[in-house]
């Protein structure tokens, strides 16, 4: 009889696991979507240093930009408030895995990041371009012109551009710059010949700093989608965000943001 009871107990546990595999694996009983709705706020990680996508006003500690406006719309559509969580590119993934925010305001999709975090469906595409001083435009007319010994290339630490620069400029000297310094500031100061960044950011940089320019004949490289990083293991939350992206695309919402913030 004791043996029969033990077998029956094991069978019941196995059946429960089949009916509720999430519980058997120790997964949370409710999705992040439900948690957000119950909490009444959406925690969004953002850097505030990616013009025109995420721009922080130090005086007011407020944010603006393409991604900021999109996240505000997401929170509005969910019927919750938004809570901005300061983040850095170098610790983007760590912030998600440590549950400091529910979603990141937007980043280029990379397989390295995708090993640890989930990504929504893409909302825009971008590519990488070199940024140099206008005074050097006659010297550098292509990517190949920058790939020379003695040429200093500066990029921001922890961004996708760090690895890209090492790949595209094996003959040059690539330096990863820690915050608060940036790659383009090194170019402005004459400590670097060039930096590479998204064509999205470059369009704003050349307007803000008239002494900078992109290499006109340089093609877009490393074309990649921008998407929203989120925690892995929560299909309900991921599907919800994907549905929101699909709906906003069909409504022309992201297209309107591109015209407003990117001039496209």
pLDDT given for residue 26 in this prediction? 53
139 pLDDT tier (thresholds 50, 70, 90): very high
pLDDT given for residue 263 in this prediction? 65
Task: Pick the closest to residue 33 from 67, 68, 80, 70 (CA basis).
Answer: 80
Q: Which domains does the chain possess?
A: 21-123+228-262 (3.40.190.10), 127-223 (3.40.190.10)
Which residues, in sequence order, are CB contacts of 157 under 8 Å at separation 6+? 89, 90, 176, 177, 178, 179
**Is the CA virtual torsion 176, 181, 184, 190 positive or negative?**
negative
How many angstroms separate the first and last alpha carbons of the chain?
76
List, for residues 71-129, the tens digit of each pLDDT value. 999 999 999 999 999 999 988 999 999 999 999 999 988 898 999 999 999 999 888 99
Both tokens of residue 53? 């996508």
* Class of residue 228 by CB neighbours under 10 A (exposed 0-12, middle 13-18, buried 19+): buried
- Using a cut of 0.75, tell me whether the model's pTM lies above it: no
* Residues forming a β-bridge with 85: 45
């Amino acid at each position: 009889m004791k043996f029969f009871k033990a077998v029956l107990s094991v069978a019941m546990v196995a059946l429960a696991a089949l009916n509720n595999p999430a519980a058997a694996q120790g997964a949370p009983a409710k999705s992040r979507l439900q948690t957000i709705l119950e909490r009444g706020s959406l925690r969004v990680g953002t850097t505030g240093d990616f013009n025109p996508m995420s721009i922080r006003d130090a005086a007011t500690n407020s944010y603006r930009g393409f991604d900021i406006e999109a996240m505000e719309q997401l929170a509005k559509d969910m019927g919750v408030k938004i809570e901005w969580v300061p983040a850095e590119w170098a610790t983007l993934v760590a912030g998600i895995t440590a549950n400091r925010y529910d979603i990141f305001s937007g980043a280029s999709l990379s397989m390295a990041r995708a090993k640890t975090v989930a990504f929504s469906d893409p909302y825009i595409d971008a590519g990488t371009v070199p940024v140099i001083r206008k005074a050097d435009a006659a010297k550098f007319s292509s990517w190949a012109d920058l790939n020379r010994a003695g040429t200093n290339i500066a990029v921001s630490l922890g961004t996708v551009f760090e690895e890209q620069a090492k790949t595209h400029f094996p003959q040059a000297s690539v330096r990863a710059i820690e915050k608060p310094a940036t790659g383009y500031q090194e170019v402005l100061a004459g400590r670097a010949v060039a930096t590479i960044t998204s064509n999205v950011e470059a369009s704003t940089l050349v307007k803000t700093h008239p002494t900078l320019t992109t290499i006109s004949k340089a093609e877009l490289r490393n074309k990649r989608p921008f998407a929203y990083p989120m925690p892995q293991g929560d299909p309900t939350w991921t599907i919800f965000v994907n549905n929101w992206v699909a709906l906003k695309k069909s409504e022309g919402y992201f297209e309107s943001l591109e015209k407003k913030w990117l001039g496209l």
